Amino acid sequence: MRHVAAQRWADLARGRVSAGDERRMRAHTATCDACARVRDRMAGVVGAFADIAREPAPELGWDHIRARVYWATSSERRERERTQRMNAITLRRWGRVGLFAAPALIAAAAALVVYERSGSGPERGEPPPIAHATAPSPSPLAPAPVPGKPLAGVVTLAQGAVAIDDASSAARVLAHPVVAGTTVTTTDGRVAVQFGDGSSFALGPQSSLRVARFDGGGVDLALGGAGEITIEVAPRAPGQRFTVTAGDRTVEVRGTAFRVARRGSTVDVSCAHGLVAVHDGSGDLLVPAGQGVVVDDAESLADRAARPLDAAAIAGLTSQIGPRLPVWTEPAQLYRTSAPLAIVAPARRAVRVDGQIVGEGALTLRVMSGRHLVEAASTGGRFAAGEWVAAGPGRDDGRIDARIEVHAAASPVAPAPSAAEARATRKSELARGLDQPRVANCLRALAKQGIGGTHLELELNVDEGGAITFLNIVDTDLPDTMSSCVRNAVAAVRFPSGQAATFRHRLEF
Amino acid sequence: MLSVVGRKSGSADTGPTQALSPVDEADLIQRCRANERAAQDELYQRFRRQVAATLYRVLGDRTDLDDLVQEVFVIAFRGLATFRGDARLSTWLYRICVNVALGRIRSRTRRPPPLSVLDLEAATASSSETEQPETPERALERQQERARVYTALDRMAPKKRIVLYLHEIEGLDLKDIAYMVDSNPVTVRTRLFYARREFYALLTGGDAAEVDE
C-alpha cells in the first residue's frame, strides 16, 4: 500500500492541493490510520508555522544597539578617511620624487644613446663607465619646511578647574580656540584638545602648557615647571616638526602616541606607539614604542636607556587622550556643527558617551550635534541604563548647549568573590562548557590503541567579559597535534561574564 | 523592483511608523549615504523591529540577538553606498538578515534552549490577544509544536534550512528566495524539494515510509 507523503498533508492543510488530489487523499485516510495520524500531525505543524510567522520582535536594548552601530560605523569611516589621507600624502611625496627624477632619467637615457652611437662601448672585461646626468635642482619644498598656515585646536573636553588664557569656566574654555601663544593651565582637572582629525593632546592635572608654535611648519609645546601631557599625532606633513619642551630637554615626535611628564627635576617620557627622541646638550636618546625613560635634570642622557613599560602603563597612555570628534573641518565650522555638553555624574564614576569612556565624574565635552547616549558606571563598574541627550547646533556665545545629569545606581551585586572563589567558578564553567565529544575526537587515535592515563595541564586567564585572554599548555604527555586539538576545544568554551581569574586546569584522559 | 517584505508577515512588526514611499525612501538612502546622523537614526528606528523579528523567527531563539541586530545595521550602513535600489529597502534589509542568520546557523553548535517558564508565560500572554482565549494547555501545545519545528530545522543543513524557512514559514516564492540567498530559482527549487522531504520526515519520525511524493 502506498501512503501519502507528509509534505502533501502539509500542502493540504494550507490549501495547496487540487480538488481531485484532496478527494483521493481523504479517501485514503478512511482506510489508513498511519496517514490519518500524519495528516493530524501536519495540521499542527502548519499551525506552528503560522504562529512563528506572527511572532513579534522581542524587546531589546534598542538604544544600546544604536549607540554600538553608530560607534562601529563612525570608527570605520574615520579609519577609512585617515587611510585615504595617508595614501594621498604618499602619492604627493612620490609625485615630487618623480618630478625631479624624470629629468635625470631622461638625461641618463640620452647620454647612454649618444654613448652607444659613438661606438666607444666598453671593451670586453672592462668595467662599464658611469653615465653622468645633470643633477636635479634641489626641491624647493624638501630641505626646509615652509611655514604653513596657522593651526587652531578645539577643546574637546574640560574637567575640573582648567583655564585657557583668561577663560576659566568650562563653557568658555570649550569655546576658546587653541592657537600659537595660548597658555593652558590645569589645577585639579584635565583638558583635551584636538587639532585635525587625527591629532590630539591631553593635559593632566597640575600642569601648565604654552603653545609656542602651532602652524603647518611645526608645532612646539612648552611644558611649564610641572605637568603631564599625553599626545597622539596623525601622520605629519613632510618637513613638519613636532616638539615638546620640558625643562632643558626637548622631546621630538617621530611617531604617534606618547606622554611627557615633568615632575620636580625629572622628565618622564613614555611612548605608546611610534618613536620619540629626547634631546639635550649631552645628546639624543630614542624611546621606541612600548618603552619609557625617566631622566633627572642632573643626569646625562648618555647614562640613561629606555626601559619597557608594562601593559597597564601602555593602556593608561592610550586612554588619556580625550574623546575625538568624528569629523574635522575648520574650527569655525566645527563650532557651528558641534556643541558643548555638560555631564553631571558622581565623582570617580566612569562616564561613557556613545559607548566610549570619556572620563570620570562631572565633565564638559564637545560633541557633534545630535542625540548621544550618556551612561555612568555603578560602584561595581557596570554601566546601567543610560540617558539620551540631544545636543543642538553650536552657538558662538560660549554657553553650554546641553546638560545632563546621570545617576549611577549603587552596585546591586553582592561583594566580589575572592580570587579563590573566582578560580573555582571559572573551573566549573570550563568543565561544564567543554565539548567532550570534540575532545574525545581529538584523542580517538589513542583510544583505538587502548592507550589511556594521559593528561594535559593548561593555564588560562578569563577576563570579566568571559573572553580567554591567554591559554597555554603547561604540561602534557600527548603528541603535539592532539594537545593542540584539545587546546582548541578549550579555547572554544564560552564563559559567561563574571570575575576575572587566572588558573591552571588539568585534564585527565 | 522586488518588494517582498512589505506584503509578508514582517510588515506587522515595523511598528507604528508608516511605510515609506519610494521617493521618501530614496531620499532617506541619499541622506544616510551623506552620513547624516538624523537619517541613520530614522532608518534604524523604522526598521529595527523588523530586523529583530526576522532574525528571531529564522533562528528560533534570542541568544545574542542584540549583537546580530547590530551586525545587520552595520552591514546595512556600510553597504548603502553600493545599494543599487533594485529592491525595496525593507527587502534589502531582509536579505541581509537572512544572510546574517545563515552565518549564525553555520557557526553555532548549540541547540535552542529548552522551554522555560518565561516562554510559557509569554505564550499564554500572546494568546490572550487572539479573538478566542486559549487555555494554558493549548498554549503549551502550540509552544511545543513550535519547539519541534525548530528542533527539526536545527538538524538540517543551513542552506536547506533557510530555503525551507523562507518557503514554508514566510511563504516566499522561488524567485524571491533566490534573491535572498543569492542563487537562481532552479537551484532553489531543487534544494527546496530535498529540504521539504527531509524536514517532514524529521517531523513524522519516518512514519509512512513508502509514499507517493
Q: What is the pLDDT of residues A250-265, one digit of tens each?
A: 888 765 678 888 888 8
Interface of B with A in 188-207 (CB under 8 A): 196-197, 199-201, 203-204, 207
Q: What pLDDT score was predicted for residue A413?
A: 45
**What is the value of ipTM here, to two decimals?**
0.77
List CB contacts (< 8 A) between A48 and chain B: 142, 145-146, 148-149
* Pick from A379-388, B85-94, B105-114: least confident: B105-114
List CB contacts (< 8 A) between A68 and chain B: 70
Query: How close does chain A come to B125, measured CA to CA in Å?
Result: 12
User: Binning pLDDT at 50, 70 and 90, where does residue B54 land?
Assistant: very high
Q: By three-state DSSP, how is residue A67 classified?
A: helix
Report residue A64 CA to chain centroid gap: 19
* Pick from A108-117, A346-355, B110-119: least confident: B110-119
Q: What angle do CA A202, A204, A207 make, to 5 degrees?
A: 115
Q: What pLDDT score was predicted for residue A451?
A: 77
Sign of the dihedral defined by the CA atoms of residues A160, A165, A168, A174, in that order: negative
Q: What angle do CA A104, A105, A111 make, to 5 degrees?
A: 90
Query: How close does chain B come to A40, measured CA to CA in Å?
Result: 11
For the beta carbon of residue A487, count every other beta carbon within 10 angstroms. 19
Question: Do residues A472 and A496 lie in contact, with contact meaning Cβ atoms separated by under 8 Å?
Answer: no
* Average of per-residue pLDDT values in chain A: 77
Question: Do residues A414 and A464 lie in contact, with contact meaning Cβ atoms separated by under 8 Å?
Answer: no
Cα–Cα distance, A50 to A10 (Å, whole number) = 12
Give residue-wise pLDDT tens across range A266-313. 888 888 777 888 888 777 888 888 888 888 888 888 778 888 887 777
User: Binning pLDDT at 50, 70 and 90, where does residue A141 land?
Assistant: very low
Cα–Cα distance, A262 to A230 (Å, whole number) = 12
Q: Kindly determine whether residue A4 and residue B66, on different chains, have CB atoms separated by under 8 Å.
A: no
Asked if pLDDT for residue A143 goes beyond 80, the answer is: no
Cα–Cα distance, B116 to B119 (Å, whole number) = 5
Q: What pLDDT score was predicted for residue A142?
A: 31
Asked if pLDDT for residue B52 goes beyond 90, the answer is: yes
User: Binning pLDDT at 50, 70 and 90, where does residue B49 land?
Assistant: very high
Cα–Cα distance, B42 to B15 (Å, whole number) = 13
Q: Kindly determine whether residue B57 and residue A10, on different chains, have CB atoms separated by under 8 Å.
A: no
Q: Which residue of A has its CA nearest to B148?
A: A45
Nearest CA among B49, B43, B166 for reference residue B99: B166
φ, ψ dihedrals at A323, nearest 5°? -65, 155
Question: Do residues A351 and A345 lie in contact, with contact meaning Cβ atoms separated by under 8 Å?
Answer: yes
Beta-carbon contacts of B13 under 8 Å, excluding residues fewer than 6 positions away, are A56, A57, B49, B50, B53
List CB contacts (< 8 A) between B122 and chain A: none
Q: What pLDDT score was predicted for residue B166?
A: 92
For B66, the closest of A8, A54, A60 (CB atoms) is A60
Q: Which of A86-100, A129-143, B121-135 has the highest mean pLDDT?
A: A86-100
* Ramachandran bin of B89, using left for φ above 0, alpha for ψ from -120 to 50, beta for the remaining angles: alpha
List CB contacts (< 8 A) between B168 and chain A: 10, 49
Burial grade of B5 (CB within 10 A; 0-12, 13-18, 19 or more): buried
Q: Kindly determine whether residue A49 and residue B73, on different chains, have CB atoms separated by under 8 Å.
A: no
Beta-carbon contacts of B39 under 8 Å, excluding residues fewer than 6 positions away, are B28, B31, B32
* B149 reaches A (C-beta below 8 A): yes
Could you give the percent of chain A with pLDDT greater than 70? Answer: 79
List CB contacts (< 8 A) between B149 and chain A: 45, 48-49, 52
Provide the grid cell at A198.
587625527
User: Binning pLDDT at 50, 70 and 90, where does residue B73 land?
Assistant: very high
Question: Do residues A258 and A270 lie in contact, with contact meaning Cβ atoms separated by under 8 Å?
Answer: yes
Residue type, A281: G
Asked if pLDDT for residue A400 goes beyond 70, the answer is: no
- What average pLDDT score do residues B127-140 get? 63
Q: Which residue has the higher pLDDT, B199 or A110?
A: B199
Q: What pLDDT score was predicted for residue A104?
A: 64
Asked if pLDDT for residue A139 goes beyond 60, the answer is: no
User: Binning pLDDT at 50, 70 and 90, where does residue B189 land?
Assistant: very high
Could you give the percent of chain B with pLDDT greater than 70? Answer: 75
- What average pLDDT score do residues B21-37 get? 85
Q: Kindly determine whether residue B66 and residue A76, on different chains, have CB atoms separated by under 8 Å.
A: no
Residue given cell 543551513 in the structure block: B158
φ, ψ dihedrals at A105, nearest 5°? -65, -40
List CB contacts (< 8 A) between A76 and chain B: 78
Q: Kindly determine whether residue B149 and residue A53, on different chains, have CB atoms separated by under 8 Å.
A: no
Q: Kindly determine whether residue B40 and residue A4, on different chains, have CB atoms separated by under 8 Å.
A: no
Sheet of A227-232, strands arranged across: A307-308, A291-296, A266-273, A257-263, A227-232, A200-203, A190-194, A154-159, A363-368, A338-344, A402-405
Q: Which of A185-189, B120-124, B173-177 has the highest mean pLDDT?
A: B173-177
For testing contact with chain A, the best of B63, B74, B130 (most A CBs within 10 A): B74
List CB contacts (< 8 A) between A1 and chain B: 210
Q: Kindly determine whether residue A371 and residue B48, on different chains, have CB atoms separated by under 8 Å.
A: no
Q: What pLDDT score was predicted for residue A502?
A: 87
Cα–Cα distance, B154 to B104 (Å, whole number) = 12
Cα within 13 Å of Cα(A284), Cβ side: 9
For testing contact with chain B, the best of A51, A77, A388, A488 (most B CBs within 10 A): A51
Query: How close does chain A come to B9, measured CA to CA in Å?
Result: 6
Query: How close does chain A come to B202, measured CA to CA in Å?
Result: 10
Report residue A202 CA to chain centroid gap: 18
- What average pLDDT score do residues A366-374 get? 80
Query: How close does chain A come to B135, measured CA to CA in Å?
Result: 16
Q: What pLDDT score was predicted for residue A87?
A: 74
For B53, the closest of A7, A56, A68 (CB atoms) is A56
Give residue-wise pLDDT tens across range A15-27. 888 888 888 888 8
Asked if pLDDT for residue A436 goes beyond 50, the answer is: yes
Q: Kindly determine whether residue A7 and residue B200, on different chains, have CB atoms separated by under 8 Å.
A: yes
For A7, the closest of B65, B69, B196 (CB atoms) is B196
